[in-house]
């Protein structure tokens, strides 16, 4: 029997000697493992610019060629994730290309924010292929008076 490393062993760097047990049927075909690894590698990382104003965090990225409905923006108080997919038109065959430098396919980027933001007031605008996300900072020094209700 061949001592092939499983996908998990390749990803973690462990060897069969380090494993306490072996799951039956855990050996996978090399082509299948390469396919799985290649799928994970195919997602591109979106380049961003991020700066702040006194009241907002501004995040900018280029999404030219991507329809707004193909972009998913998830925000939390301390993190933003942008995912999308740029579809390639297959009107030219590979042999006819001189240069191929544009990125086609799935992309994503998760950014940890330097300060908490107000999720409900965030805005996204796509203008001429530039996605601008405005994330209002939370004012931690803001105070309000709480009135006591009687029943």
Read off the pLDDT of residues 80-131 as tens digits, 9 standing for 90 and up.
999 998 887 777 777 888 887 777 889 999 999 999 999 999 999 999 999 9
Say which range, 9-13, 40-44, 104-108, 111-115, has the weakest mean pLDDT: 9-13
Q: Whole-angstrom distance between the N-terminal and C-terminal Cα of the chain?
A: 77
Provide the pLDDT for residue 71.
93
The number of residues making up the chain comes to 151
Say which range, 5-9, 82-86, 123-127, 139-143, has the weakest mean pLDDT: 5-9
The structure tokens listed for 1 are 């029997």
In whole angstroms, what is the distance from residue 8 CA to residue 32 CA? 13
> What is the DSSP pairing of strand 44-45 with strand 105-112?
parallel
Provide the pLDDT for residue 35.
54
At 47, is the secondary structure helix, strand, or coil? coil
- CA 2 to chain CA centroid, nearest Å: 38
Whether the per-residue pLDDT at 20 is higher than 60: the answer is no
CA dihedral 96, 99, 101, 103 (to 10 degrees): 0
Provide the pLDDT for residue 146.
82
Alpha carbon of 80 to those of 49, 52, 76, 106, 134: distances in Å? 13, 15, 6, 17, 11
Sign of torsion, CA 16 22 27 33? negative
The average pLDDT across 17-38 equals 52
Domains of the chain as residue ranges with CATH: 7-41 (no CATH), 44-89+103-136 (2.60.40.790)
Looking at every residue in the chain, the average pLDDT score rounds to 79
């Amino acid at each position: 029997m061949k001592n092939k490393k499983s996908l998990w062993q390749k990803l973690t760097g462990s060897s069969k000697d380090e494993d306490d047990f072996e799951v039956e049927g855990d050996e996978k075909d090399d082509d299948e493992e390469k396919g799985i690894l290649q799928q994970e590698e195919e997602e591109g990382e979106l380049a961003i610019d991020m700066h702040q104003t006194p009241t907002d965090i501004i995040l900018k990225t280029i999404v030219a060629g991507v329809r707004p409905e193909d972009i998913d923006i998830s925000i939390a108080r301390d993190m933003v994730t942008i995912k999308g997919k740029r579809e390639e038109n297959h009107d030219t065959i590979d042999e006819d290309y001189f240069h191929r430098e544009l990125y086609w396919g799935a992309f994503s980027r998760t950014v940890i924010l330097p300060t908490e933001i107000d999720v409900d007031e965030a805005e996204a605008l796509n203008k001429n292929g530039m996605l601008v996300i405005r994330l209002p900072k939370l004012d931690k020094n803001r105070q309000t008076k709480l009135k006591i209700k009687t029943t």
